[in-house]
């Protein structure tokens, strides 16, 4: 960027911030402040707050709503001193959702702590030389009351317990209760436990599996992450720069074990969460755990974080008529590899990620594969198309700045961004998509053409990042059948409307996973499900994911899930809320 460009950008940002700070000054009356603020925002502006001003995660859209709410909340928490954060990526001109904007990372203070933010400005076409805000993010960065782990002074202790002795004792919970129990040791469980640990909050992770990382280790043999390593770091410990671009599942599982030891997280494996009851008068849970030796352990944490993932319980719903089939039937969650199916006829139900990956692995091992499509699916080539939403992480800012930029995008703008990306991927992937259509594979691109990420955020799946299976389907090496053309199941296979009959040795049901409400019902009861409502998918009023990373209507119950990047980012805000609750702030 040219020097005079930098000077002009800085000048416009300084002018906007000066006017903004004057508008929120305690010396000005409300009407005058509202008028000044109103001149600083476009009509279609958005404000997303993550705990900084509202103790909520919510988005407000439309200038009239933004201004009134923003002013009132700024006054409530005594927010002040909005300024450019000189320690972070400096103001720069970028393109967001097709608009050329100036993007500015901010810092400011409230009576509760230090905050960060981001504002996007661009020139008002009706008033040349005057810049207004299109979107504003305000986010809590750290509490004034945070009691973070201090650097220990070196002590030359010749006798008594050393570090390992203390760690081993700490894990046992002999004479104390954890303040927080985290259920699940995947990326969600580990990220929130690490954040809580750094806030000096006593946290115990429990997992039903034998080892940390088994949630990845036990999945099918060929699995790798489908987005790139530099996007997926866990808090405090980035992956080594020497790692492969796409992390194999066993490598990731091993890192999870290493992470627990390095971050000194307390974790009990082979431990099953049986259920819990909340005691309103005592403000704690009574949690029932089944330990590795079969004994029942009762614990009384103040908070429970459910970190079992968006897709944790296989949906084993039976296909109508399939009971007539007498061959082997498994769910994709139970699939390991295709070695034993060389030369066998296999039918895979579904066309999401698991279905494609299983079908490809079976083909590699010499099976004869047919894949059954029940409804249209979205297909995106893993490179470059599936990586387009992560381009920000290659633009230059460090991971923390990229994370802030990512969460600064309000829902309506995010949707527009992904609609543009979807059109771009359709152009890039056109040769593959045309071939898929020609062999009878039905394609779709999400609600309002919003693409794969919105399919993930609303339903947790319904798309495939092509790492080879789509090419096999397009080339006819994996045959695609439409479920609507199956008229009958026999003891040995299926019969099609065309009259064709196929003998099948194995049917793999890639029929997805149950929602988190199912897990809550099983562990906490229907009354808690009814109390908190749906989990995941968007709340139209708040424009945020429902019941994720925020206080639910059930005191002491929190939900944490998502991709590695989502877990890294939102674990910070979830930990701050739990800390604020324990400190009596909220």
Q: Is 531 exposed, middle or buried (0-12, 13-18, 19+ CB in 10 A)?
A: middle
* Bridge partners (DSSP) listed for residue 181: 204, 304
User: 330: which 2 tokens?
Assistant: 């498994």
**Same domain for 276 and 339?**
no
Q: Three-state DSSP class for 547?
A: coil
In 395-479, which residue ranges form alpha helices assigned H by DSSP? 399-407, 411-428, 430-438, 451-459, 469-474
Bond preceding residue 579 cis, omega within 30 of 0? no
Mean pLDDT (whole number) for 18-29: 86
Tell me the C-alpha to C-alpha distance, in Å, between residue 435 and each of 427, 438, 439, 518, 534. Answer: 14, 5, 7, 39, 39
Count of the separate structural domains present in the chain: 3
Tell me the C-alpha to C-alpha distance, in Å, between residue 257 and each of 166, 214, 486, 563. Answer: 19, 9, 45, 18
Q: Is residue 154 part of a domain?
A: no
Separation of alpha carbons 283 and 301, rounded Å: 9
Range of weakest confidence among 33-47, 56-70, 447-461, 520-534: 447-461
User: 510: which 2 tokens?
Assistant: 């890639």
**Same domain for 229 and 354?**
no
Q: Three-state DSSP class for 304?
A: strand
Separation of alpha carbons 372 and 355, rounded Å: 9
pLDDT band (50, 70, 90) for residue 312: low
User: 13: which 2 tokens?
Assistant: 């940002």
Q: What is the largest CA-CA distance in the chain?
A: 83
Asked if 306 contacts 314 with a C-beta cutoff of 8 angstroms, the reply is: no
DSSP 242: T
Range of weakest confidence among 84-93, 242-251, 395-404, 510-519: 510-519
pLDDT band (50, 70, 90) for residue 150: low
Q: Is the pLDDT of residue 172 over 80?
A: yes
**Same domain for 332 and 296?**
no
Separation of alpha carbons 102 and 13, rounded Å: 8
* Bridge partners (DSSP) listed for residue 119: 104, 136
Q: Is the pLDDT of residue 6 over 80?
A: no
Q: Is residue 153 part of a domain?
A: no
Instruction: Provide the pLDDT for residue 7.
Output: 66
Which residues contact residue 3 at a Cβ distance below 8 angstroms, ignoring those fewer than 6 apart?
A: none
**Same domain for 39 and 52?**
yes
Instruction: Provide the pLDDT for residue 516.
Output: 86
Q: Is the pLDDT of residue 31 over 80?
A: yes
* Chain Cα centroid distance, residue 474: 31
Mean pLDDT (whole number) for 566-582: 98
Instruction: Provide the pLDDT for residue 223.
Output: 87
Mean pLDDT (whole number) for 347-373: 95
Separation of alpha carbons 544 and 59, rounded Å: 7
Which of 528, 534, 515, 513 shows the shortest CA–CA distance to 275?
528
**Same domain for 325 and 353?**
yes
DSSP string, 487-524: EEE-SSEEEETTS-EEE-SEEEE---EE-HHHHHHHHH
**Same domain for 506 and 523?**
no
**Same domain for 303 and 363?**
no
Q: Is the pLDDT of residue 522 over 80?
A: yes
Q: Is residue 573 part of a domain?
A: yes
User: 391: which 2 tokens?
Assistant: 């381009």
Mean pLDDT (whole number) for 193-209: 97
Asked if 374 contacts 317 with a C-beta cutoff of 8 angstroms, the reply is: no
Q: Which helix (H) or strand (E) holds 380?
A: strand 378-381
Instruction: Provide the pLDDT for residue 27.
Output: 65
Instruction: Provide the pLDDT for residue 4.
Output: 59
* pTM: predicted TM-score of the whole model, two decimal places: 0.92
Instruction: Provide the pLDDT for residue 222.
Output: 82
**How many residues comprise the chain?**
586
More confident residue, 551 or 314: 551
Which residues contact residue 527 at a Cβ distance below 8 angstroms, ignoring those fewer than 6 apart?
A: none
Q: Is the pLDDT of residue 152 over 80?
A: no
Q: Is residue 354 part of a domain?
A: yes
Instruction: Provide the pLDDT for residue 294.
Output: 94
Q: Is residue 157 part of a domain?
A: no
Mean pLDDT (whole number) for 384-392: 93
Q: Is residue 375 part of a domain?
A: yes
Backbone phi, then psi, for 29, in 5-degree steps?
-80, 160
Q: Is the pLDDT of residue 2 over 70?
A: no
pLDDT band (50, 70, 90) for residue 146: low
Mean pLDDT, all residues of the chain: 93
**Same domain for 329 and 408?**
yes
CATH number at residue 12: 3.10.450.50
Q: Is the pLDDT of residue 395 over 60?
A: yes
Backbone phi, then psi, for 323, in 5-degree steps?
-60, -20
Model confidence over 237-293: pLDDT tens digits?
Answer: 999 999 999 999 999 999 999 999 999 999 999 999 999 999 999 999 999 999 999
For residue 418, give its domain range. Answer: 316-512
**Same domain for 472 and 526?**
no
**Same domain for 555 and 483?**
no
Q: Is the pLDDT of residue 88 over 70?
A: yes
**Same domain for 300 and 337?**
no
CATH number at residue 489: 3.50.50.60
**Which of 467, 485, 512 is where one domain is finished?**
512
**Which of 143, 171, 201 is where one domain is finished?**
143
Q: Is residue 150 part of a domain?
A: no
* Bridge partners (DSSP) listed for residue 60: 47
Model confidence over 426-470: pLDDT tens digits?
Answer: 999 999 999 999 999 999 999 999 999 999 888 888 899 999 999
pLDDT band (50, 70, 90) for residue 481: very high
Long-range contacts (CB closer than 8 Å, 24 or more residues apart) made by 248-254: 248/223, 248/224, 249/216, 249/217, 249/219, 249/223, 249/224, 249/225, 250/216, 250/217, 252/213, 252/216, 252/225, 253/211, 253/212, 253/213, 253/214, 253/215, 253/216, 253/217, 254/213
Q: Is the pLDDT of residue 120 over 70?
A: yes
pLDDT band (50, 70, 90) for residue 157: low
Q: Is residue 35 part of a domain?
A: yes
Express as a percent the part of the chain with pLDDT over 70. 96
Instruction: Provide the pLDDT for residue 148.
Output: 61
Exposed e or buried b for every residue in 62-71, given b needs 16+ CB within 10 A?
ebeebbebbb
Which residues contact residue 431 at a Cβ distance below 8 angstroms, ignoring those fewer than 6 apart?
A: none
**Same domain for 337 and 219?**
no
**Which of 113, 143, 173 is where one domain is finished?**
143
């Amino acid at each position: 960027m040219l020097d005079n460009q930098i000077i002009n950008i800085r000048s416009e940002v300084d002018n906007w911030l000066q006017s903004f700070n004057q508008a929120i000054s305690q010396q000005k009356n409300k009407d005058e402040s509202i008028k000044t603020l109103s001149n600083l925002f476009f009509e279609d502006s958005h404000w997303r707050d993550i705990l900084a001003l509202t103790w909520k995660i919510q988005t407000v859209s439309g200038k009239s709503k933004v201004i009134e709410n923003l002013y009132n909340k700024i006054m409530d928490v005594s927010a002040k001193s909005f300024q450019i954060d000189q320690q972070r990526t400096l103001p720069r001109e970028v393109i967001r959702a097709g608009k050329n904007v100036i993007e500015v990372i901010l810092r400011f203070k409230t009576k509760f702590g230090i905050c960060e933010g981001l504002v996007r400005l661009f020139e008002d076409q009706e008033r040349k030389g005057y810049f207004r805000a299109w979107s504003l993010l305000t986010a809590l960065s750290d509490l004034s009351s945070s009691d973070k782990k201090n650097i220990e002074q070196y002590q030359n202790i010749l006798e008594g317990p050393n570090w390992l002795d203390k760690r081993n004792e700490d894990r046992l919970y002999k004479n104390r209760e954890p303040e927080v129990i985290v259920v699940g040791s995947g990326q969600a469980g580990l990220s929130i436990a690490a954040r809580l640990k750094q806030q000096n909050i006593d946290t115990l992770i429990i997992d039903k599996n034998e080892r940390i990382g088994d949630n990845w280790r036990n999945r099918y043999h060929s699995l790798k992450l489908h987005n790139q390593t530099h996007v997926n770091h866990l808090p405090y410990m980035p992956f080594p720069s020497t790692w492969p671009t796409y992390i194999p599942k066993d490598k990731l599982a091993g890192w999870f074990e290493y992470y627990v030891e390095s971050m000194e997280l307390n974790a009990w494996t082979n431990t099953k969460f049986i259920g819990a009851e909340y005691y309103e008068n005592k403000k704690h849970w009574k949690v029932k755990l089944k330990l590795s030796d079969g004994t029942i352990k009762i614990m009384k944490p103040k908070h429970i974080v459910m970190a079992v993932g968006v897709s944790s319980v296989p949906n084993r719903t039976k296909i109508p008529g399939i009971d007539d089939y007498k061959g082997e039937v498994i769910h994709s969650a139970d699939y390991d590899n295709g070695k034993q199916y060389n030369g066998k006829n296999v039918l895979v139900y579904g066309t999401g990620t698991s279905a494609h990956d299983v079908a490809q692995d079976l083909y590699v091992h010499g099976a004869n594969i047919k894949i059954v499509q029940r409804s249209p699916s979205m297909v995106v080539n893993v490179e470059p198309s599936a990586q387009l939403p992560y381009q920000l992480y290659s633009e230059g800012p460090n991971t923390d700045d990229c994370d802030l930029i990512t969460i600064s995008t309000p829902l309506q703008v995010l949707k527009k961004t992904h609609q543009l990306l979807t059109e771009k991927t359709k152009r890039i992937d056109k040769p593959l998509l045309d071939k898929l259509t020609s062999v009878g594979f039905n394609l779709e691109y999400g609600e309002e053409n919003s693409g794969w990420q919105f399919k993930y955020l609303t339903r947790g799946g319904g798309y495939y990042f092509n790492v080879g299976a789509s090419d096999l389907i397009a080339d006819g090496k994996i045959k695609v059948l439409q479920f609507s053309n199956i008229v009958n199941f026999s003891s040995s296979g299926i019969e099609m409307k065309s009259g064709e009959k196929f003998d099948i040795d194995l049917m793999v049901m890639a029929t997805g996973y149950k929602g988190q409400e199912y897990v809550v019902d099983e562990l906490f009861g229907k009354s808690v499900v009814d109390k908190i409502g749906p989990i995941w998918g968007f709340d139209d009023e708040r424009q945020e994911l429902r019941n994720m990373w925020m206080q639910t209507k059930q005191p002491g119950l929190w939900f944490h899930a998502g991709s590695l990047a989502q877990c890294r980012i939102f674990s910070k805000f979830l930990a701050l809320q739990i800390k604020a609750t324990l400190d009596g702030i909220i």
